[in-house]
Amino acid sequence: MKFCSTRGGESGKSFSDVIIKGYAEDGGLYVPEEIPSISEETLAKWKTMSYPDLCAAILDLFDSDRLLGSIEQSRERFRNCYANFNHPEVLKVVEFPGDGTMIAELFHGPTLAFKDLALFGVAMIADELLKRRQRKCLAVVATSGDTGSSAARAVATMENGSIIVLFPKNFITKTQERQMTTISSENVHIVEGEGNSDELDVVLKDLTRDENLQQTHNIAIFNSINVARIVLQIPYFFYSYFRVIESKETGLDHAVTFVLPTGGGGNLAGGVFAKAMGLPIRFVICNNSNAAMHNIIQTSTLSKSADAADVQKTLACAMDIKVPYNLERVFYVLSKKDTKSVKEVMELFEAAENSFVATDEVILQTMKRCWVKNREIICPHTATAVAFYHHLLDNRVDFQQQFGSIVCVATASPAKFPEAVEKAKIDAKVSHPVIEALDNLPELNKTLMKRDENWLEFMKKFISKHNL
Ligand SMILES: *Cc1c(COP(=O)(O)O)cnc(C)c1O
């Protein structure tokens, strides 16, 4: 399998060439040149696989360099990689009692968010590549929430990598911040920036475009610009799909709609690849009130008015994004790799997918309703998806025809968002051993990057000062 840029400027790259990269040199995003199509026979085989084994099978289609070795070795590596997750199956699909709400719980990783699923795998694969090449890398991540702690924890497992996490001051929860600032690993560095996550993304992009820095430090990008992350976000759509059809006792042709809490669209990009590989799935894209993807779908214009500076702070803060950069990959796939005709892509996109917006008020109502009706507590991101399901129920929409079975994706554990749980007036305390353990850990040094500083210079100095 070869990889190319969505903008056509690069092609014929191997998985090893692109795995630690962010943007392609022409400013596009890397994508596989072909999308493997999965036979029904293979699907039937995959249906009975454990999650780690499924990851090995899917990685094998994209990594012609076989960085993890033979398929048996690769399975073993993935089993180890996911061994410290908080659920023996790695992820699971549950049905809430009462109203048939189905939830794909993707948040059983060490930082309790879905990003662990791909990031721990990417760190493992990247480490293997660096070992072979006898190189080190420096990962830089700007985060609006969960990417930071997940990437930091994942990179902490690497022998050949270190990481700087940039997080937007006041845009993430206390728990999310503590999940990063309490990591005691010499290769993990945390920087707090006075800006929002789209603004931090800009300095990140500038850093990676700096030839000098790139050469000397081997800069790695592990946010969802990274194509290896998207590849490792494919398996959970297959795995969840299989669990849904099992519980519905239907066959491999049964349509399933994934209702996705969406920010940058990385999750969606993984799903769109799974769909293009032949999985009969559809999507409903759920936004918080920043409504980036929703606005694009509804108006089919990539609005320039989406000024990075006016991102609203919401309860579902990991989705506080106005520029959902993974759209480019989504367009690429949906346009059948037509890199030119944006209009056509827009029309395809518009026709193919549905979208929904949940304001903070709706998020809180939805959390409360799940507690009252189902005795379940969900996180504010997950609530954007469940709100859509409630919307269908309340309007008595006969959704079988349009959506098949509906599964809402739970992207984070509610235990990460006690503030929102309290705001939703849920009369129970959420807790998780992973979060409770944070209380006993000292907060390690984090560095402040002020608004009036030259951020690129700041980052360069930081890198040389810490000898990264
Ligand atoms: C990152 C994140 C999202 C958004 O995912 P994208 O891939 O950026 O669309 C949603 N919920 C949670 C909890 C997240 O951490």
Domain ranges of the chain: 92-113+233-430, 114-225+438-468
Q: How far is the CA of 124 from the centre of ligand 1 (A)?
A: 21
Q: CA triplet 96, 90, 263: central angle to 5 degrees?
A: 70
CA–CA separation, 244 and 254 (whole Å): 10
pLDDT value for 302: 47
Q: How far is the CA of 376 from the centre of ligand 1 (A)?
A: 21
pLDDT value for 303: 41
| Per-10-residue mean pLDDT, the chain, length 468 | 93 94 87 95 97 98 97 98 97 93 97 96 97 94 84 95 93 88 93 89 85 88 89 98 96 95 92 94 90 69 47 81 72 70 53 78 97 96 97 88 93 94 95 91 89 94 87
The answer to whether residues 252 and 48 touch, using CB atoms and an 8 Å cutoff, is no
Kindly indicate whether the domain formed by 114-225+438-468 is annotated with CATH number 3.40.50.2300: no
Q: What are phi and psi of 95, to 5 degrees?
A: -115, 125
The one-letter code for the residue type at 313 is K
Name the nearest CA neighbour of 270 among 11, 26, 35: 35
The one-letter code for the residue type at 258 is F
Q: How many CA atoms lie within 13 A of 311 on its CB side?
A: 28
- What is the token pair recorded at 206? 């500038």
pLDDT value for 342: 53
- What is the token pair recorded at 302? 């990539």
3-state DSSP helix/strand/coil percent for the chain, to nearest 5? 45, 15, 40
Torsion, Cα of 406, 412, 416, 417 (10° steps): -40
The number of angstroms, rounded, from the C-alpha of 99 to the middle of its chain's C-alpha atoms is 28
- What is the token pair recorded at 444? 């390690």
Taking the CA of residue 265 as reference, the ligand 1 atom at the shortest distance is 9
| Site residues for ligand 1, CB cut-off 6 Å | 113, 115, 145-146, 224, 261-268, 318-319, 381, 411-412
Kindly indicate whether the domain formed by 92-113+233-430 is annotated with CATH number 3.40.50.1100: yes
Question: Do 114-225+438-468 and 92-113+233-430 fall under one CATH topology?
Answer: yes
pLDDT value for 351: 47
pLDDT value for 316: 83
